[in-house]
Structure 1
Amino acid sequence: MPLHALAEGRNQSIPSLLQEVTGLSKARISKGDLDTIRPSTQAKVDRHLEELLQEHFKGDPEGLQSFRSKIAAAPATRSGEQAPLAGWVHQIEFQPWIPLPITKGVALTIDELLEALLTCCRDDDLRGFKSVLLAHFGRSEQAVHAVGQMISEPAPENELETLQAIADWEQADKWNRNWLEQLYWDLISSLDAEWNSHYFAGRQTKPLFPLVMVRPQEGLLESMKVKSRRNIFFKPVRRLLEFLYALTFYFRYKRWPTKAPTPKTLAEILYRPGSRELAEESLISNYFDGTTKVTLDLVLEHWEQLGQHFMPTRLESERPNAPLPMIMLALQWQNLLVQDKGRSFLMPDMKRYEAIWSLRRGKWADLQAQQDAGFPKAGQPAREAIDWPEWSFSQSSSSR
């Protein structure tokens, strides 16, 4: 997932990203088993990475040292191996500094669970694999525990019986698909609750990441019938640009725009990539429908342009930081949740998502109550709850 998120943010394939980062050929990367490369090859990869770092931080030795310190402090599993999901959350903590102990604990628990399962796979230990899963599903509470202890919703008896009856790896793979998706959404809903609670100083009253997920045409999920061939569903990048516009509007006027921005509205604010000329309306429309891909760097440029438009008298350092996780996830979901070249889409079980969000939100509130009164809050000063615009949430809910 971290690699996928980075690749989507840069509009690259994962093999291209790995080639750029490691210096290995795509032919070698396509063979897989990158953890078994020879020591001499690993030494070349290390030298290549060092050259990239030196180039990136050229003239900024303090930045390089800070980066090395962050990497050194990255979470690891109890076996000492890298924890990719927890490491991804660890990186998000720094832009801006927002502590994420709850989400990091959830991510580390998932990392250790998957590590145990992958060890069973490598050892061809199907019995051990089933034992790990049965131990997980034998617990009685909900989801992944915030501090690293794995607890979950009770699995239906028929699913446990199916798990116990698994006789080969093909059956195990088929059984795993659904709960692996649940682990992903457990992590995302935790990040939603914790990061946004800091960013908005505890003023939000509902999950916010759904604002940049797929938004189906009203009534589509309930009836499974299309009312209009136009805008059958809104894609994540469109919803992201709408949200960023609404958020900067809110920061300026302390109220929400009455409706979502049109491509014409955004074209009067945003510039063409790499230019100081305003974008054409057609370019924004291409962003909306996915014809033209956007990158993380481009979205951050557009955030800066929105800030200049709505807050021209504020210094850049005084303007709000970009909601980075929402941006990264929207770019990832543009690919993960929109499939078949835009002919179909996926949505999480929103009822379960909201239930886990509420669990994490309560945990965050408990942690805040334990902090000193002088604990610095990120985002906006604490005031009354934010009344989010109805048009941004006009999305059918689904338990499917």
Structure 2
Amino acid sequence: MTAADPTAADQELMARAVRLAARGLFTTDPNPRVGCVLVQAGDVVGEGWHRRAGEAHAERIALAAAGPRARGSTAYVTLEPCCHQGRTPPCTQALIEAGVATVHCAMVDPNPLVFGQGLAALRAAGIQVRTGLLEAEARGLNPGFIKRMSSGLPYCRCKLAASLDGRTAMASGESRWISSEFSRLDVQHLRARHSAIVTGVGTLLGDNPSLNVRLAAADLPGMEPDEPVRQPWRVVVDTRLRTPAGARLLGLPGITVIACSAPADQRRVSQLELAGARVKQFPDHHGLVDLRALMSWLAEEEINEVLLETGPILAGAALTGGLIDELILYLAPHLMGDGARGLFQLPGLEHMEHRIPLIIDDVRRIGPDLRLLLRPGTAGAR
């Protein structure tokens, strides 16, 4: 049976599971965000969401809450239950042992260790399985996990702030502040959900950014007030190791990676490592760090979602390299003039047919600014 068969109650209960899963937005990394609801005779008898890697999965939390009432119940879970022994035991076995009668699963787990095998195990045990209910909403919870498992690359968002005439800095490099305090607060929430923030050495040298999350747990939905806030990796694309050992981000909690491609000067490497960095060399691509190799390595390190916060050179290289999945553009209501710096460095765009099309997914007001969510499109897209 498929998603063509659900009732209004089924839709409502899976939506409840999706909302539960979203409570793990800032904590579950590198695991997927998953929610589960158990229903017996129309009543919710147990529910849960996965909070963080190494802790109980959503299904086991819901089963523990339901106790004996789980027998004969219907489970609504946003991701296929796992069937392998990882940091925690398999959820399929827990569902089977608890006597759950039916499982509504929003989507198949793209993890090769699962990928349909969990559903097959449930069916083999006599449990009725239905798939596809609110699949789009479930996929929207975990774009990074899905992409990492299916393609070996993280999901990459590029965050940009610009004036209405598309300028990101004055010709001198001055850029503070283009967007409003409301947009900057929104960026803090954006950073908190990402596994890594990537910038270029030009931005580092010009702005000396921290690239950290400056919110408390109480500011992040789903977190307990006393929980530590996870800091995303900070990654500096620095071809020739120009990062100063005194850079602000090197002294902050969390992991900082300096990605270079030139033959490493061991003295500079040692200086940066003593300052707190991990120095990693990547292949050279036209005189720059090979960004695809960098992204592939980040995926190997279980980085799900990458936020690119950088200048026009690196942003342009990532866009033309097909590495950006989503653009988040904060447009401020002012003009900076034709001498100011643009959003992307895109050499070779000489005719209208060379334009890079974008698809607008969302537009909303953030204080005085506009926030646009866009995706790279295909030629002729409208």
Same fold (TM over 0.5): no
- Greater strand fraction, Structure 1 or Structure 2: 2
- Bin the TM-score by the shorter chain: under 0.3
* Larger proportion of helix: 1
TM-score (norm 2): 0.23
Relative contact order (alpha carbons < 8 A, sep ≥ 6): 1 or 2 greater? 1
